[in-house]
Structure 1
Amino acid sequence: MITFILNNKEVSTSMPPGTPVLDFVRYNQYLTGTKIGCREGDCGACTVLVGDLSTNELRYRTATSCLMPLGNAHGKHIVTIEGLNMADLNPIQQAMADESATQCGFCTPGFVVSMAGFCLSKKSPTPQNAIAAVDGNICRCTGYKSIERAATRVAYLLENRHDQNPVQFAASHAILPAYFATIQARLQSLSSTPNGELANEVPTAQRVGGGTDLYVQKHDEIKDASIRFLADNTDLKGIRQQGDQCVIGSATTVTDLIESPLIQQYFPDFKQYTTLVSSTPIRNMATIGGNFINASPIGDFTIFFLALDAELTFREGDSVREIPLRNLYLGYKTLDKHPEEQLEQIRFSLPNKQARFNFEKVSKRTHLDIASVNSAIAITVENDVITHVRLSAGGIAPIPKQLINTAEFLTRKHLTEALILDAIAVAQTESAPISDARGTEAYKRLLLGQLIKAHFIKLFPELKVEQLLTLKV
């Protein structure tokens, strides 16, 4: 039995745990304010809040309910737009009305829920952060300036919060309904049965982490499937340092990485990189292990960790196997992985003080889009000589590529503009892009060269940037 708090009431259901939360709240609970839009996590019309105690305090994150299995709601607080209603419009809704930030209204519930998630977060109450909170919501008729003004007004609601608990502040200042102040105690009293026990552990059970890719590809078949839920498996979570290595559980989300002090210490630009990847709700749900196993040739974090030469740990019963991430991909969507193996850990060597890292991505939209070509580099230069380098790229082959020959060509050479151009020529020999909806073969080859240039321009500003940008390969 799946049990959770839905808005202000406890609910239990024996519906298939693979049922999308969106379908449960609309067709079982008749909460139709949560809208059906794209069913791919892009439009944000189905956004809900998910509150949990995984960090030993009540924490809320937004999620796209069209991609969230009901089993992942177990033991949590799920909030739809109806759960934000008060006797009159709440201040977030009032801000949207006052700024004329809605026309047809179809998308409005998702925007309001996302702004409520911002109010319940510990993010600094700045207009920039408030606007960033709705990066997963699309409006097709209003125009975003009025919505941005509404988000700015919401940020001002929090200006006196300081170090107060966000949930308690929002409830006590009538930003959100008062019942939010009771949720932590109520969640603690819920059944503690882990959602991993919600499905039969049959050999053919589908493993599901965040579901952000599976529910796009297999919506109709997965909703009734037997599922092994991974998202709340504490053995598969966490980010920690072991000696000079970073160890990441496969069910760790992108947001977990963004918020990790360890990742922030060694990759200070990591948050900036992630603004190019999906949206806040998707980053809240999507797991790093899922990004790897999905085997997309343009998987953003696959490319990121290929440049770090990450190692993977697989488990099948008592058998443990470790392989480099670069060896996982045998062909398009083909993995060196046994059917019953489960990815448990990702580990990589933390960069030393001399090492530099960069990630680049080009897509048709700056945000909330998949890459045409993406690339990452980890490089160490001493006395103008490249002593160590790893380079990866996506969108240029049937698999995510670590450009081994290019790295070997660069190693132990003096860093010059001419060397970079020669390295781009080598990279083209390791590239075999195809023409598709994201660009022609020629365009992707051009992008590969430009992204390699971008790495060096970003990491080594002392190079002659203007010359490098204008030189043709």
Structure 2
Amino acid sequence: MIQFILNNQVIKTSANAGITLLDFIRDHQQLKGTKIGCREGDCGACTVLVGELTENKVTYQSITSCISPLGNANGKHIVTVEGINLPKELNAVQKAMTDNYATQCGFCTPGFVVSMTGYALENNKTTSCNDAISGNICRCTGYKSIEKAGYEIEHKLQQQNGNQQIDWLIKEGFIPDYFKTIPEKLQQLQPKNFEKTGVKVANGTDIYVQHADKMAEEDVHLLTDKNALKGISFTEGICTLGVNTTVTEIAESKQLQTLFPKLKQFLKLVSSEQIRNMGTIGGNFVNASPIGDMSIFFLALNSTLTIQKEDGSTRQIPFQEFHQEYKKYDLQEGEILQLIQFKVPQAEDFFNFEKVSKRTHLDIASVNAAGRISVVNDTIIEAHFSLGGVAAIPKYLHKTNAFLIGKTISSETVKEAETVLQSEISPISDVRGNAEYKRLLARQLFFAHFLELFPNQVELKKLIT
């Protein structure tokens, strides 16, 4: 039986763990404020908050409930727009929206309000309120008014005393007072683990886009409660990530931010706030998309993948060998991904990530690229470049990387390497652009790595002449 708290109500249900959280909220609980829009996680109309108890404190994140399995709510606090209403007046976010004329047809408004409230509930705000709504779409194009509401909320939150966050938010009218009781209520829940049978699902951001109706009728093997698949650790110069680690968890890791100073800037290009909160790196790998952002990212880190067999034993392979053909990968019956590891960058190591897409947020790449390069005395001793959108799989550039080793960093070297690069990619024309356009993007993004990382040795003028 699934047990969780929905707003201020304890829920115990025997509903199929594979139905979407959105459908349970609307059809089983008749809470219609959470809207049905795209059913693909793209529009944010179905945004809810998920609160998880850690050390007697509840931390909240926004997610899109249309592609989240109900079973993943087990043991958590789910908050819909009805759950942040105050008894007799608008809450602080709702008031900011109305004061700035940020509601038009109103269909998207609940999703925006929930996302902004989630921002207010964040313990360590390292983004802006308007970053928090990067996964919410307003079809009436009322963005400027919504942005003004976001700035107003940010200004009000700057007055907050962080020591008693929940009490302050209640006092200032951001959330109702029942939020104070949630930690104790979550402790009293006794959620049980599910049977390990059926289709394997982490957080659903891929499989539920394509097969939500099918998943509602099937058994699901939920992977989110497997602690062995979570976490980020460092041992003897190796960084290890469980494959259930989300993009947000990577972006918020202080150690990874130290190793990759532009990490948050890179990962803001990956989908949207709600999807980054849900999407796991393992899910991105087995999606096997030729433009998978995290696949391209970890290919450039020359990572090693650990695969767990059904009997608990494991095997390791270079990540560059995992993807074999279009949507095919090296995972046998009964196996699951467990860990991915890479060597911690040293002083001689440089890393960069680039992506071109039609929208800045919440969009798939036309071409994405990453590169890790080791340089000693201007000589390249190691190179690992990858490209997405230019082959049937996320492409590790074997020939280009081999060519670069032993070369001196210069504009001439980069131009020669780009010629090699073009010989080993095979883009096709599709909705993201024609083959010629993708070759041009591959060229430009490859150049961009060197212009960003070695501005004193590589000149744009020499690259394009």
Query: After TM superposition, is the score higher than 0.5?
Result: yes
Q: What CA deviation, in whole Å up to 9, does each residue of 1:228-262 have, x standing for no partner?
A: 11123212110000111001111111111111122
Quick one: distance in 1 between partners of 2:55 and 2:69? 21
Match of 2:418 in 1: 424
2:317 alignment partner in structure 1 = 323
Q: C-alpha root-mean-square deviation of aligned residues, in Å?
A: 1.4
| Pairwise CA distance, 1:55 | 6.1
How many residue pairs are counted as aligned between the two chains? 463
In structure 1, C-alpha distance between the alignment counterparts of 2:39 and 2:125, rounded to whole Å? 31
Paired residues of 1:123 and 1:129 also in contact (CA < 8 A)? no
Q: Which residue of 2 aligns with 1:96?
A: 97
Counterpart in 2 of 1:16?
Answer: 16
Deviation at 1:73, TM superposition (A): 0.3
The residue that corresponds to 2:106 in the other structure is 105
Partner of 1:453: 447
What letter is aligned with 1:6? L
Gaps of 5+ in 1: none
* Equivalent residues in 2 for 1:187-336, closer than 5 Å: 187-193=186-192, 197-198=193-194, 200-202=195-197, 205-316=198-309, 317-336=311-330
Return the alpha-carbon distance in structure 2 between the equivalents of residues 99 and 217 of structure 1. Answer: 37
Q: CA deviation at 1:466?
A: 3.7
Which amino acid letter does the alignment assign opposite residue 68 of structure 2?
Answer: M
What is the CA distance between 1:69 and its match in structure 2?
0.4
Q: Tell me if structure 2 keeps the 8 A contact 1:356–1:380.
A: yes
Percent identical: 50
Q: Distance in 1 between matches of 2:351 and 2:421?
A: 18
Deviations 1:340-385 (A, max 9, x none): 1011111111111121100001111121100111110001112211
Higher mean C-alpha displacement, 55-64 vs 157-166:
157-166
Distance in 2 (CA, whole Å) between partners of 1:424 and 1:390 is 14
- Report the 3-state secondary structure (helix = DSSP H, G, I; strand = E; otherwise coil) of the residue aligned with 1:58: strand
Instruction: Give the aligned partner of residue 59 of structure 1.
Output: 59
Contact map agreement 2:415 2:463 (CA 8 A) in 1:
no
Does the CA contact (< 8 Å) of 1:101 and 1:142 recur in 2? no
Match of 2:432 among 438, 444, 459: 438
The question of 1:374 aligning with 2:368 is answered yes
Deviation at 1:142? 4.2
2:203 aligns to what SS in structure 1?
Answer: coil
| Aligned residues of 1:453 and 1:468 also touching (Cα < 8 A) | no
* Residues 161 and 168 in structure 2, CA contact (< 8 A), matched pair in contact too: no
In structure 1, distance between residues paired with 2:28 and 2:371: 49
Give deviations 1:308-364, integer Å, cap 9, x for gaps.
Answer: 111111111133111111101110011111021011111111111121100001111
**Which is worse superposed, 171-180 or 249-258?**
171-180
1:399 aligns with 2:393: yes
Any idea what the Cα deviations from partners look like across 1:284-330, whole Å, max 9, x if unmatched?
A: 00101111111111000000000111111111113311111110111
SS of residue in 2 equivalent to 1:164: helix
Question: If the length of structure 2 is used for normalisation, what is the TM-score?
Answer: 0.97
Contact 2:91 2:175 (C-alpha < 8 Å) held by counterparts: yes
Tell whether the 8 Å contact from 1:119 to 1:166 is kept in structure 2 after alignment: no
CA distance in 2, matches of 1:336, 1:165: 49
Return the TM-score normalized by structure 1: 0.95
Listed one character per residue, the Cα deviations across residues 110-129 of structure 1 (whole Å, up to 9, x for unaligned) are 0000000000002448xx61
Gaps of 5+ in 2: none
